[in-house]
Structure 1
């Protein structure tokens, strides 16, 4: 990505961030960690088992969400509920949640991996991957260490499961499928620059970077 395109992307991202932040501030209730803990039973079966795999749309590990930012978790659940993120299981779960439920779950999982801080500098990427990251201007949104995004509504991606990241990145390129895809024009514009093989390279590297995410086992009976 040339300098002009990078500058344009940063401008678009900054504008979108301001709009999203204003809307979220006006609509999102405050989350309660204890209430979120009591509501997380529906999440434990997938997100509370390290290495647990989903088989849709292909076999991959379900994402680590303990330690993810609350605004991102809330935004993701709202997108599943609305249908901007297409996944039958997550759509069904999110559709059963109120705004307060979402805020509580987000608060709980955001604080579910306390005391973990990613290094300021990430593991160095191979030259070929570094070129891909620069082309996609990934640092511009997700931070230099991929754990400090410019806005908390963007995900931390350092240390996330590689196969999940790969599936997520590909989903931004899916059009017109009622069961697969994510409606995000910024990410779609970025991922469409890459082949699937290149997206896999990016995902594989990010998975090796030390981050702040975890899959933490939780008791099934409380």
Structure 2
């Protein structure tokens, strides 16, 4: 009769030379513990968005660069815009150390898959209820000066082109940080390079940007944070 040690070594040897068997065992183990892709999402895409979940699927989660703010809601955002944003982080046109690292690991196809996933993600869930009201005369004047609706559309939620983001309902502190970043394009380790947004935003004071961000956050929109875990 073989000892337990001999039995263990024999099993290990058979598994090392039987990759399909080892894969089946690992898959069964992961499934049993609940680590598996959602039924309606291809496994390959689930693996790609896994790195996004840790920040963008936690309600109220905050980032600390370049200052503390909530990470943006991306479920329900336009795929074309998400793809453009990820490409900008990868190329350095948007400066953010974490997002640069994430985007640098993605192929063009990865970016397209992730963008498509988040455009349709959470469509069966209601977006947060609007918290604001009609624009005050001061805010309306700022919206007119910035010509915001010309690109971002009715209610700042129906962009004229899918390459522009939906803004309505987005976190106010994130919007404020994002708007300020266009004022610092090309200045050290922060900022965003975008000719249109840079020319628009430079016409505003930071106090005015904060007013615009607060108003936009109170609008009804499609954006949401869908709680999600790698362990399902």
Which interval holds the TM-score relative to the shorter structure? 0.7 to 0.9
Q: Residue in 2 aligned with 1:60?
A: 69
State the match for 2:186 in structure 1.
176
Return closer, same or farther for 1:143/1:123 CA change in 2, 3 Å cut-off: farther
Is 1:80 aligned to residue 89 of structure 2? Answer: yes
Q: CA deviation at 1:123?
A: 4.2
Aligned equivalents of 1:176 and 1:109: distance in 2? 29
1:147 paired to 2:157? yes
- Cα deviations by residue, 1:57-103 (Å, 9 ceiling, x for unpaired): 00000000000010000000000000000001100100000011101
Say yes or no: does 1:114 pair with 2:85.
Answer: no
- Cα separation, partners in 2 of 1:178 and 1:200, compared to 1, 3 Å: same
Q: Is the 8 A contact 2:90 2:104 kept in 1?
A: yes
Residue 218, structure 1, aligned to residue 228, structure 2:
yes
Tell me how far 1:126 sits from its aligned partner.
Answer: 1.1
Residue in 1 that maps onto 2:3: none
Deviates more, 1:175-184 or 1:65-74: 175-184
Within 2, Cα distance between the matches of 1:213 and 1:201? 20
Query: What is the alpha-carbon distance in structure 2 between the residues aligned to residue 33 and residue 167 of structure 1?
Result: 32
- Pick aligned residue for 2:199 from 180, 189, 198: 189
What residue is the counterpart of 1:39 in the other structure? Answer: 48
Residues 132-162 of structure 1: per-residue CA shift (max 9 Å, x gap): 0000000000002111101001000000000
Cα deviation code 1:172-194 (max 9, x no counterpart): 01043332110001001100110
2:107 to 98, 119, 126: 98
Tell me the equivalent position of 1:203. 213
**Number of aligned residues:** 189
Given that residues 57 and 225 in structure 2 are in contact (C-alpha distance below 8 angstroms), is that contact kept between their aligned partners in structure 1?
Answer: yes
Counterparts of 1:145 and 1:79, CA distance in 2: 26
Whole-Å separation in 2 of the counterparts to 1:152 and 1:205: 22
Distance in 1 between residues matched to 2:62 and 2:91, nearest whole Å: 24
SS in 2 for 1:40: helix
Unmatched segments (≥5 aa) in structure 2: 1-39
Larger radius of gyration: 2
Give structure 1 regions of 4+ aligned residues with deviation exceeding 2 angstroms.
32-38, 115-118, 175-178
Find the counterpart in structure 2 of residue 17 from structure 1. none
Distance 1:37 1:220 in 2: 9
Q: Where does residue 22 of structure 1 map in the other structure?
A: none
**SS of corresponding position for 1:214:** coil
